[in-house]
Amino acid sequence: MNRDFLRDLRKYDRLNYCQEIFEDIRASANPELEVTRLAGNAPKLKIFASKEASYSYSLIKLEELYRTFDRQVPTPLTRERAYDSNDTDWLKMLTSTTAHGDTSDNASTDRKRDEH
């Protein structure tokens, strides 16, 4: 039932549409509003007599599924750990350097650039 429900909400015909739906919700400025919007776009389920009852069920179901996803699936750390050279966040600089190599690579690149 969950996959059938989510299949109707997908934007693209891809196999990982469940993840895409929940990642889009997570990335939105207001996840609660995005869940409400998606529930409103869900097609009416035939098991309910009214569109309002179908919407209410869709909203509750989507909230439940998103809460489970958000609790169990870790957030990508790329944005949180990426080092922006215009920012002086030393922790991000250190974690980025550790994750992507050492500072000697950066120093040798700078020297090569200066030679040209």
What per-residue confidence (pLDDT) applies to 77?
A: 60
- Per-residue pLDDT tens for 26-35? 999 999 999 9
Domain extent, residue 59, equals 2-72
Are 39 and 67 part of one and the same domain? yes
pLDDT at 9: 74
3-state secondary structure of 88: coil
Query: Do 65 and 103 have their domain in common?
Result: no
Quote the pLDDT of residue 54.
92
- The confidence score (pLDDT) of residue 60 equals 95
Q: Give the closest residue to 42 by CA, choosing from 25, 63, 62.
A: 62
pLDDT at 100: 58
Q: Check whether residue 67 and residue 99 sit in a common domain.
A: no
Contact 45, 98 (CB under 8 A): no
- Residue 46's alpha-carbon distances to 4, 19, 38, 59, 85, in angstroms, are 13, 25, 18, 16, 54
Domain total in the chain: 2
Alpha-helical regions (H) of 8-89: 17-27, 31-41, 51-72, 78-81
- Average pLDDT score over residue span 38-57: 91
Task: With a cut of 70, say whether residue 75 has pLDDT above it.
Answer: yes
